[in-house]
Amino acid sequence: MTKMTTPLALTIAALAAGISASAMAENHGHQPQGHQPQGLYSAEDIIDADVYLSANPEEEVGEVEDILLDEGMGVAALVIESGSVLNLGGQEFIVKAGQFSLTTYQDDDGDTEHRVMLDASADEIEGYPVYDNDWWQQARERSREAWMETQEGAQSAWETTQEGAESAWETTRENAQRAWNSALDAMSTDGN
């Protein structure tokens, strides 16, 4: 599969921006003991993190294989390698942002550990898209098109704003000129 490599620093920044601390802390009451938000997260620490179901925090689904970023360097999705659990047959599947949360805690040795909690049932996970080259190409094209539409919309809004500002300036200038001319006329008729 062809993928673009993102420098680790950008990935870390994207994680900090894309997964808010409150989203990470939220886990429907299923947090490992000693949950501690960090505020800044390393992609290196999250890749290979164990993945569980929120509804059944003891049932491991797999581990984080990759973190997918959108054009704005925000987290778009996680790639989860399922192993042989939940009848998923060791495949990699996609979990979109908003369908998971991240908990951070200290293990018995004092090391920081991460858990990704999926907000889905085992049956729902079976319907998640499989991560393969076809999915990658289609998702990349959809994301690129959405980004281009956003840029075009922003450009159009900027042009409309400029046109509106220019029109308002012209109207204000014309009204000021009329007021000035009226004041001059009033002074010239009073002086005669």
Which of 110, 131, 152 is a domain's end point?
Answer: 131
Is position 3 within any domain?
A: no
Paired with 27 in beta bridges are: none
Is position 146 within any domain?
A: yes
Is position 14 within any domain?
A: yes
The CATH number that applies at residue 22 is 2.30.30.240
Q: Is 91 exposed, middle or buried (0-12, 13-18, 19+ CB in 10 A)?
A: middle
At 54-106, the pLDDT tens digits run 988 888 889 999 999 987 888 999 999 987 655 556 789 999 999 999 988 88
Q: What pLDDT is stored for residue 70 in this prediction? A: 84
**In terms of domains, do 113 and 170 share one?**
no
Pick from 66, 81, 92: which is nearest to 5 by CA? 66
Which of 131, 151, 171 is a domain's end point?
Answer: 131
**In terms of domains, do 15 and 85 share one?**
yes
Is position 180 within any domain?
A: yes
CA distance 192 to 127: 90
Do residues 41 and 16 lie in contact, with contact meaning Cβ atoms separated by under 8 Å? yes
CA distance 126 to 88: 7
**In terms of domains, do 45 and 88 share one?**
yes
CA distance 192 to 101: 82
**In terms of domains, do 26 and 71 share one?**
yes
Pick from 3, 128, 147: which is nearest to 67 by CA? 3
The vertex-112 CA angle with 106 and 117, nearest 5°, equals: 85
At 122-176, the pLDDT tens digits run 888 888 999 988 988 888 888 788 877 877 777 777 778 877 888 888 888 888 8
**In terms of domains, do 114 and 30 share one?**
yes
Is position 123 within any domain?
A: yes
Total domains, the chain: 2
**In terms of domains, do 73 and 90 share one?**
yes
- What is the domain range of residue 28? 8-131
CA distance 120 to 125: 6
